[in-house]
Amino acid sequence: MNPELNQSVTVLKGIGGETAETLAEMKIYTIHDLLEYFPYRYQDYRLRDLTEVQHDEKITVEGKVHSEPSLAYYGRKKSKITIRLFVDRYLIKVVFFNQPYLKNKFVINETITVTGKWDAHRQTITANEMQVGPNSKGHDFEPVYALRGKMTTKGMRKFISLAYQQYGNKIEENLPLSLLNKYRLLGRRDALWAMHFPNTSDDVKQARRRFVYEEFLLFQLKMQALRKFEREQSPGISQNYSQPKLKSFIDALPFPLTNAQKRVVNEILADLKSGFRMNRLLQGDVGSGKTVVAAIGLYSSVTAGFQGALMVPTEILAEQHAESLNSLLDPFAIRCELLTSSVKGKRRREVLQDLAEGRVDILIGTHALIQEEVTFKNLGFVITDEQHRFGVEQRRILREKGENPDVLFMTATPIPRTLAITVFGEMDVSIIDEMPAGRKKIETYWAKPEMLDRVLGFVEKELGKGHQAYVICPLIEESDKLDVQNAIDVHTTLTHYFQNRYKVGLMHGRLSSDDKDSVMKAFSANDVQILVSTTVVEVGVNVPNATMMVIYDAERFGLSQLHQLRGRVGRGSDQSYCVLLAAPKSEVGQERMKIMTETNDGFVLSEKDLELRGPGDFFGKKQSGIPEFKVADMVHDYRALETARNDAALLIQSKAFWSSPEYKFLRNELEWSGVLEGEKLD
């Protein structure tokens, strides 16, 4: 950056101590900060045709005053002026809150211009700006800034304009000409001006387009440069697996792999073979067949002479995985062992000793795997399932049980592609986006709570066929604050309802792990036919005989979570059903229920979820990993994100990027952000 832009804002005329303090509150310290303090939206002062305006839009209209204003006071110091206004051929209402002094400004049949929020149902504008006479702003768009203290929009415009006059010529272009031309992007200096002083909506659009691309490109360059250096600095194991053995293993599977499975297997094998350490995320919807992919990967590593480990979050899952891996791998003389806290005494000592001496090929377990007593002879490949449930620290400990083993993270929580490549930007991402053929769609219905009787009749019918059912509730116990169903009460009610016919079990997070295990085992064995549970059943539980799920207060769950829950049924060959009991009040809530009934595709749902809730909420709480962009929006600008990502990859790989003067500014940005620390640049 040009050092002159790094000067304090106080070098500008009119910015003294007090103003500087206000600006500092807005985190504006330098000329550069001021010039890049972008508006968060624009008020459009173009006159609008009321027939084309959406409910709740902020608009400007011009019209003739039709009635005397009526002024009403209410409460303390509160007032409301109402007038009727002819806009084209429509008679609408305009209200002004707490501006009683405006009363004398209205003259019948005179033209006024008002700006405010349009209520389409009441045909009313709640105005916050008004001007006697026709629209005469002189510009169609006015930026709206997030302001503090005494700062006004006018003041901001003045200071930014002044800064631009004096220092605008110091703004340097950081994108190479080739990219500017390729995408017809505005130059940095012009784009900056247009962000603050646009004349038309197209000016804003072009300026935004440039900054969105710039932000994404810089972000991707940083991520990818980091990855490149990390790869070069932490060599992995080049695993020479046996191609013929692998082929006969795949040929012996009871089904052909889907194309998506083949693709991700190849990505994983390429990583195993390469001398770099694998750091890969494998995403696949529930039931997409990740387990067999994991088995192929682990087997490959064993044929190369290494041990493998599979770490999962719960004992039940560990047992299930051990069982399926054993049935796949046992015929190939591979020894898989289970290690959980339930494996005790002599058995445990045996497993640990055989592991340390290399007689166990693959170890499957919970976080028991990362305890100190566990030593591998030569760990080459680590897989963790449901990666978001393990902390970074736990994954590091497991990784350090070998010498730079390859690491694969598996998750069934479909993360929208856009988020995956930003949040997991330093990882490679593989996606299984195809289901095995012949899978039945889980029929999903949305029912109002008052239809509970009919829903229970439906459950009873499924149970009559010898099947089982899950009933999911948002809470464990009754809550004073929330009017939602809780598992304990529902369990009592259903026990009464189904008494003498079916057994009802109860599962929630506050049970001890022994109790949880025994409830789950009873349900697996069909000793219990109905399992009332909170969301603890969300992860990986596999009871193929369960064909029915009822979710109480379904509007309280996110789409991705509902999808995870629903994935507990539809695991056998019989048709499965899911009933969402919900009475959402908002339109968004209703739309979410509808989408659930329409699609079984986890990626579609997660994209929708992201769209409806925004990236911050997507992960439940503000997650530190999500980068904040000034202008760009990960959801709406995702195409630009993908473009920038591809461009960054090409640049990082090219020689020219690291030496040619054309890329000097981009390299400087990396240096500034510390990515290139210690790297010598020309």
- Where on the chain is the footprint of ligand ADP (CB under 6 A)? 255, 257-258, 261, 284, 286-292, 412, 436
CB-nearer residue toward ligand ADP: 224 or 258 = 258
CB-nearer residue toward ligand ADP: 408 or 593 = 408
CB-nearer residue toward ligand ADP: 30 or 288 = 288
CB-nearer residue toward ligand ADP: 259 or 375 = 259
Q: How far apart are CA 242 and CA 303, in angstroms?
A: 6
Q: How far apart are CA 104 and CA 101, in angstroms?
A: 7
Q: How far apart are CA 294 and CA 261, in angstroms?
A: 10
Q: How far apart are CA 504 and CA 493, in angstroms?
A: 10
Q: How far apart are CA 206 and CA 198, in angstroms?
A: 10
Least distance from ligand ADP to the Cβ atom of residue 567, Å: 7
Least distance from ligand ADP to the Cβ atom of residue 385, Å: 8
Least distance from ligand ADP to the Cβ atom of residue 553, Å: 26
Residue type, 602: G
In this chain, which residue has its C-beta nearest to ligand ADP?
289
Least distance from ligand ADP to the Cβ atom of residue 292, Å: 5
Helix (H) or strand (E) holding 319: helix 315-329
CB-nearer residue toward ligand ADP: 258 or 314 = 258
Least distance from ligand ADP to the Cβ atom of residue 677, Å: 40
Least distance from ligand ADP to the Cβ atom of residue 248, Å: 17
CB-nearer residue toward ligand ADP: 220 or 413 = 413
Spatial strand order of the sheet with 336-339 comes to: 336-339, 362-365, 307-311, 379-385, 406-411, 279-284, 428-432
Q: Which residues contact 544 (CB under 8 A, 6 or more apart)?
A: 571, 572, 573
Nearest-10 Cα torsion for 96, 97, 101, 104 = 30
Give the residue from 27, 26, 17, 9 showing the smallest Cα distance to 158: 9
Residue type, 571: R
CB-nearer residue toward ligand ADP: 544 or 627 = 544
CB-nearer residue toward ligand ADP: 135 or 258 = 258
Q: How many CA atoms lie within 13 A of 285 on its CB side?
A: 24
Measured distance between the N- and C-terminal CA atoms of the chain, rounded to whole angstroms? 17
Q: Which residues contact 60 (CB under 8 A, 6 or more apart)?
A: 43, 44, 45, 46, 47, 48, 113, 114, 115, 135
**Three-state SS at 642:** helix
Least distance from ligand ADP to the Cβ atom of residue 180, Å: 44
Note whether 379 and 352 are within 8 A (CB): no
CB-nearer residue toward ligand ADP: 291 or 307 = 291
Least distance from ligand ADP to the Cβ atom of residue 251, Å: 13
Cβ count near 98 (within 10 Å): 10
Residue type, 443: E
Give the residue from 114, 634, 246 showing the smallest Cα distance to 423: 634
Q: How far apart are CA 595 and CA 239, in angstroms?
A: 44
CB-nearer residue toward ligand ADP: 281 or 488 = 281
Least distance from ligand ADP to the Cβ atom of residue 290, Å: 3
Least distance from ligand ADP to the Cβ atom of residue 436, Å: 3
Q: How far apart are CA 323 and CA 205, in angstroms?
A: 56
CB-nearer residue toward ligand ADP: 433 or 553 = 433
Note whether 307 and 313 are within 8 A (CB): no
Integer angstrom CA distances of residue 466 from 444, 454, 461, 545? 20, 19, 9, 8
CB-nearer residue toward ligand ADP: 194 or 415 = 415
Helix (H) or strand (E) holding 191: helix 188-196
CB-nearer residue toward ligand ADP: 143 or 289 = 289
